[in-house]
Structure 1
Amino acid sequence: MIPHRDLLPIALDAVDRAAALMRRQTPVTSTRKGDRDLVSEVDYAIERDLRSFLREVTPGIAFLGEEEGASGSGEWQWTLDPVDGTVNFVRGLPLCGISLGLLHGVRPVLGVVDLPFLGTRYWAAEGCGAHMNGRPITVSATTSLSEAVVGMGDFAVGADAANRNRLRLALMARLAEKVQRVRMSGSAAVDLVWLAAGKIDAAITLSNHSWDMTAGVAIAREAGAVVVDSSGNEYTSASTTTLAIAPGLVGQVLSHLKDTTAASR
């Protein structure tokens, strides 16, 4: 069994490479991946560089990148979103970063998220706690929705977007009547690490892939968050929805989601 904690320095080195590239290379072109979805040449450059680097230093570990898919196989897998928040990045908005995680089977066990334009890096390995710029972090102790700030993932785009967005809109409307504020950053990684650091109290993503979530979920869990899918089951890499919540709010958030889902049918 690979000691995943020993892989943390490698993950940090990999993200150093990616963050340096992201800072120095302004996106000059972007390509549509689908309806209202973009990928830049920086996304490809980071993913190709880290795929090559990690193949060299950890040849026994598979790799999954958002832009060019999977390589290798086995029970361990690196997952990478090379630029999480590409639209923000292309527009010069600082809420974007690199999200590199490690799966053991379907469980996230390590994560590094670097937000180069905010000067913050978050990391965690299972059993080692969560950290921001080297300092330990924990989720908030909030227990009342009226005092909670909730992060919501982006609206759906592409095929059947209007239908898929009905639940998002209904849930946002319901939460807006109950919580202190609802926020949408445009980056799942930002939402998850801000939850881990106690800046927000819940992060709700109603459609996702494992490269979006692995690193942030590992960090949020080590910071004390409860991370489940929309049915309340423990999050795994097979989950297509993700709710990361401060422990004191889990029942309330899931109850509102359940009621909203029932009312939207």
Structure 2
Amino acid sequence: MDYQSLLKAVIDSVQQAGERLIAEWQRPHGPRGYGDKADVDTEIEQELRPMLLELLACDFWGEETGASISGDQHCWAVDPNDGTADFLKGLKGSAISVGLLRNGRPVLGVVYAPVTPSRGPDCIAWAEGMERIYRNGEYLAPSLHNAKLSPESRVMVSAAARRKPAINADLCAPAEPLPTTSIAYRLAAVAAGDGVAGVSLVTTAAHDVVAGHAILLGSGGVLLDQSGVEISYVSRAGLAVTSTRCFGGARAACEELAKRDWSLVFQHSYSMVNSPIEKVTKSSPTTTT
């Protein structure tokens, strides 16, 4: 399988579908939908599904149009608009996420955020066999092999982190938290060098993370679950629930972040006395240096 040639065709298809997301964003009365469901999500996946299956006929795992799992060694994993809830709230950065698995391992990923806060359309991609990841026509050297948490680094967290800056700052220390819409875009942007790790504190499925996971692999990174174990997709159950929390980026940073008590984010109040960093450093003085 020539995954690099396939990647070029997938990028074209995803960017074509992204025109729908741009048009939806520009609607005079805002995007259609409510909660975490937007009309354009289904429209994009209905456009992408036949295009992808024409490029490579195999199994398919889609957020909106459902799954078709036969045991083929390849499987597409598609989220047509990762970050829908924030998109409907008027936040930029939701992304089309298309990944490809071979025997449960990511071998190709495209994450395209057509509307971002500062970059404009942002397409990040990688396929097995490439030595560098792709971003908007440029190829970037792997950046995650030896990266660690440091005062100069950033951890990309959910947009909701803006509501609890103190606890998120403490949990990400000594790095700086960077609130970002879409876990798929967080993972891809980390792989492209925008951060040292990306975090999701909600349950994820294959359509949320396969593409970002692939791009992380291309940059020397990992994607770990809530137990600090690398995520895999070897069963239907593993596709349906990949993690209840995940940490993607440089291995050392993700292993450290996975140890911290992220349940504190969901408490009504937070005190530095309960600092997860203090607990970690008492038991392992060098983990955050």
- Sort the TM-score into its range (normalised by shorter chain): 0.7 to 0.9
Q: Contact 1:145 / 1:249 at 8 angstroms: preserved in 2? A: no
In 2 relative to 1, CA 250–46 (structure 1 residues): closer, same or farther, beyond 3 Å? closer
1:219 to 215, 218, 228: 215
Residue of structure 2 in register with 1:194 after alignment:
189
Q: Contact 1:150 / 1:179 at 8 angstroms: preserved in 2? A: no
Residue of structure 1 in register with 2:257 after alignment:
253
Q: Which runs of 5+ in 2 are unaligned?
A: 263-274, 280-289
In 2 relative to 1, CA 72–7 (structure 1 residues): closer, same or farther, beyond 3 Å? farther
In 2 relative to 1, CA 182–78 (structure 1 residues): closer, same or farther, beyond 3 Å? same
2:67 to 60, 67, 70: 70
Calculate the aligned-residue CA RMSD, in Å.
2.8
After TM superposition, list the pairs within 5 Å mapping 1:32-71 onto structure 2: 37-58=35-56, 60-71=57-68
Local SS of the residue matching 2:195: coil
Q: Which of structure 1's runs of 4+ aligned residues deviate more than 6 A?
A: 168-171
Q: Contact 1:112 / 1:124 at 8 angstroms: preserved in 2? A: yes
Residue of structure 1 in register with 2:156 after alignment:
151
The CA deviation at 1:66 is: 0.8
**Amino acid paired to 1:122:** I
Q: Give the TM-score taking structure 2 as reference length.
A: 0.73
Q: Give the TM-score taking structure 1 as reference length.
A: 0.79
The CA deviation at 1:76 is: 0.9
C-alpha distance in 2, partners of 1:104/1:213? 15
In 2 relative to 1, CA 116–28 (structure 1 residues): closer, same or farther, beyond 3 Å? closer
In 2 relative to 1, CA 228–44 (structure 1 residues): closer, same or farther, beyond 3 Å? same
Q: Contact 1:174 / 1:256 at 8 angstroms: preserved in 2? A: no
In 2 relative to 1, CA 29–199 (structure 1 residues): closer, same or farther, beyond 3 Å? same
Residue of structure 2 in register with 1:158 after alignment:
none
Residue of structure 2 in register with 1:19 after alignment:
18
Local SS of the residue matching 2:42: helix
The CA deviation at 1:89 is: 2.3
Local SS of the residue matching 1:193: helix
Local SS of the residue matching 1:108: strand
Residue of structure 1 in register with 2:168 after alignment:
172
How much identity, in percent, do the aligned residues show?
A: 30
Q: Which runs of 5+ in 1 are unaligned?
A: 32-36, 156-167
- Give CA-to-partner distance per residue, 1:158-195, whole Å, 9 cap, x none: xxxxxxxxxx999736415x234212313102211221
In 2 relative to 1, CA 244–257 (structure 1 residues): closer, same or farther, beyond 3 Å? farther
In 2 relative to 1, CA 169–55 (structure 1 residues): closer, same or farther, beyond 3 Å? same
Structure with larger RCO (C-alpha < 8 A, sep 6+): 1
